[in-house]
Amino acid sequence: MVVEADSKELARRATGLGVAPPRHVGIIMDGNGRWAAARGLPRSEGHRRGVEAVRATVRSASDLGIEVLTLFCFSSENWSRPAPEVEFLLGLLRFFIRKDLAQLNEAGVRVLVIGERNGLPGDLERLLTEAEDLTRANDALRLVIAFNYGGRDEIVRAVRHLASDAVDGLIDPARITAKDIADRLDTAGLPDPDLIIRTSGELRLSNFLLWQSAYAELIFLPIFWPDFDRAAFEGAIREYGERDRRFGGVARSA
């Protein structure tokens, strides 16, 4: 018990915020278009400024001692947006990987990509694979990019995998556990998110990490994503540190 207390105290000191940092933070980066509209700018400018916020957030996550940062970059539903905007968003992702990958690798960041890759443009799929392969040995921060990702789709793919294994006689359907499902999700091997942050003031998960967020703390911020900065990140972590995480048990004061 003394060792556990010491480790928690070290974690609190590491953040400089007086609270232990969450191991895994997921962020729903929402509001680029509305940020731009409020300033009379094209939506594309909002997306550009959103990329700048991504860079700053990755740096902050490393500084604050967070182990895993998952960013909801492009959902499986985003393909329904106007074609020019979709192409622009794909171009931004290409630009980000080409421009920032070397720096991320040098900083010890490991890049992982979750989501459905079948049907993606060939050059983009190769870039995503390159980012994962180049940074595979890094251990400073795991940066998870949720691209062409949807929580329901992820669960469906995991269930199909289990069903296939059952048909092949590899598993007994009656003995399937929650761990069996988790092990077949895109996030297999990662800790579940402790904290999920959503910007823009919307109060929903929008199909993000549905299985994994069962016991995550949720914080909804009224600011648009391009305005998310170090101060906003630290404020969310302070609020997280004040929460009483019970995981179905009783309160610590009870």
Q: Which of the residues are catalytic? A: 30, 78
Residues across the chain: 254
Q: Name the DSSP letter for residue 113.
A: E
The neighbouring-strand residues paired with 237 are: none
DSSP labels for 30-89?
--HHHHHHHTT--HHHHHHHHHHHHHHHHHHHHHTT-SEEEEEEEETTGGGS-HHHHHHH
Among candidates 236, 41, 63, which has minimal Cα distance to 50?
41
Burial (Cβ within 10 Å: 0-12, 13-18, ≥19) of residue 37: middle
